[in-house]
Every structure is written in C-alpha cells, then in structure tokens.
A and B are shown apart, each in its own frame.
Chain A
Amino acid sequence: QKEVEQNSGPLSVPEGAIASLNCTYSDRVSQSFFWYRQYSGKSPELIMSIYSNGDKEDGRFTAQLNKASQYVSLLIRDSQPSDSATYLCAVNPLRGGGADGLTFGKGTHLIIQP
C-alpha cells in the first residue's frame, strides 16, 4: 500500500519567517513528487514539482528531495499571510508510463501569523 505521510498541523509561522513542510513516502519506486497548495473550499493548485535528489527553487519556494531517506520537503521563505493554506504532498511512482495518478498525503495546515 502506497503511503504518503504529512504532519496535519496546524503549523503556525510568523510573517516573514521560513515555513518548513515535510513529507515522507513509503513506495521506493516513486519518481516524481509534487507540492500542491489548497485554500479552503478551492481546488489544489500545483506550486512545485521535483524529480531529482537535491533542491529546486522557484521564487520564495524551495523543494528538497532525498530519495534515500524517502523524504521531500517544501520551504517557503519570507512567509506571507496569503501563504496560509493546506499544503498537499503527492507522489507518482511512474508505473505504466506514470499515467496512473498521484498518491496524496492528508496535508499540512499552515497558518502565517501577521
């Protein structure tokens, strides 16, 4: 059974600080990894994807992947109140060409305190 684990939170971070979100996964064959942001009552929005070990930066967001430890994280620098949302970690084992969908964690609720 593929599993993706996240701390449900809430994670409370002061405005301007770095928010660190963590995710572990059980399926060693997982090859692609995603972070989605979901505001209450809205659909998930893709903010980062990462496929190789190491760091990937996009603006204020940095995704980190360590396949040996089966661990992926998301750092949000200079956190803003608008970053307050639930962050979903998702993995794709890329079986059968990878078209068989994503496995999601239950999400971490992030609160940025002004």
Chain B
Amino acid sequence: NAGVTQTPKFQVLKTGQSMTLQCAQDMNHNSMYWYRQDPGMGLRLIYYSASEGTTDKGEVPNGYNVSRLNKREFSLRLESAAPSQTSVYFCAGGTAYTQYFGPGTRLTVL
C-alpha cells in the first residue's frame, strides 16, 4: 500500500457516536483524499486536500469533516454517525497522475 497507513482497521459505532479516522502518508505527496466504497456504488470521493492547510468537498461530503494536520496526516471525522455511513473508507495520497490507497477502515454503524 505504497506508504499510506490508516487506523483503525475495523470499527463499530452506535448511531450518534463520533469518531475520527486517521490517515498518514510517507510519500511526501501534497494531495490527500478520502473515499468511501459501498456495494454497487463504487468508490466515491468524500473530501480532498490539495496541499497542507487546504481542504475541499468531494462528491459526498455531508456528515463528515476533515483536518489536514500537516503534510503527512489527513483525518476524517464523523460527528454523529448514522447507519448510512456504514462503509469501507479509504485514504489515498498522490498527484494528478497517480494515487496510492491505504488499507482501508471498515466501519459499521448500528
């Protein structure tokens, strides 16, 4: 997984709970991304950060917030989890010409 790490690997939440998914990359890329993957829906972009200090909404940002802590780290926060946020979450780092994915976090919201 080319230098992108994610924690945790698995998480179960109850509706209304909050949590932060952590992502770090050691590839020195400026850009980082959060995607979610759902059966039948493919990978969809939640948020991205083109560079340290900037973040922008992707296709499905509702219910999420992000923080680009520094060049290496990009976190995704669920303030009040909902069952519709049950998914596999992937962080990626890269450029316009290549993106490398982390191993993913499998999140279940009950």
Contacts and interface: CB of A to CB of B under 8 A. Distances in A.
Contacts of A32: 96-97
Interface residues of A, number: 26
A99 B98 contact: no
B96 A97 contact: yes
Nearest to B4: A43
A46 B100 contact: yes
Contact of A96 (B40, B42, B50, B101): B50
A85 B50 CA distance: 30
Contacts of A107: 42
B40 to A, nearest CB: 7
Given A43-B1, A43-B90, A44-B90, A98 B97 contact: yes
Contacts, number: 64
B97 A101 contact: no
Given A43-B90, A44-B43, A88-B43, A102 B99 contact: yes
Contact of A102 (B30, B45, B50, B103): B45
Given A32-B96, A43-B101, A106 B42 contact: yes
B98 A101 contact: no
A44 B48 contact: no
21 contacts: A34-B98, A42-B103, A42-B104, A43-B1, A43-B102, A45-B101, A88-B43, A92-B96, A94-B96, A96-B50, A98-B95, A98-B97, A99-B95, A100-B48, A100-B56, A101-B33, A101-B58, A102-B45, A104-B43, A105-B42, A106-B42
Given A99-B95, A104-B42, 16 more contacts: A34-B99, A42-B104, A43-B90, A43-B102, A43-B103, A44-B101, A98-B95, A98-B96, A99-B51, A99-B96, A101-B33, A101-B35, A101-B58, A103-B45, A104-B35, A104-B43
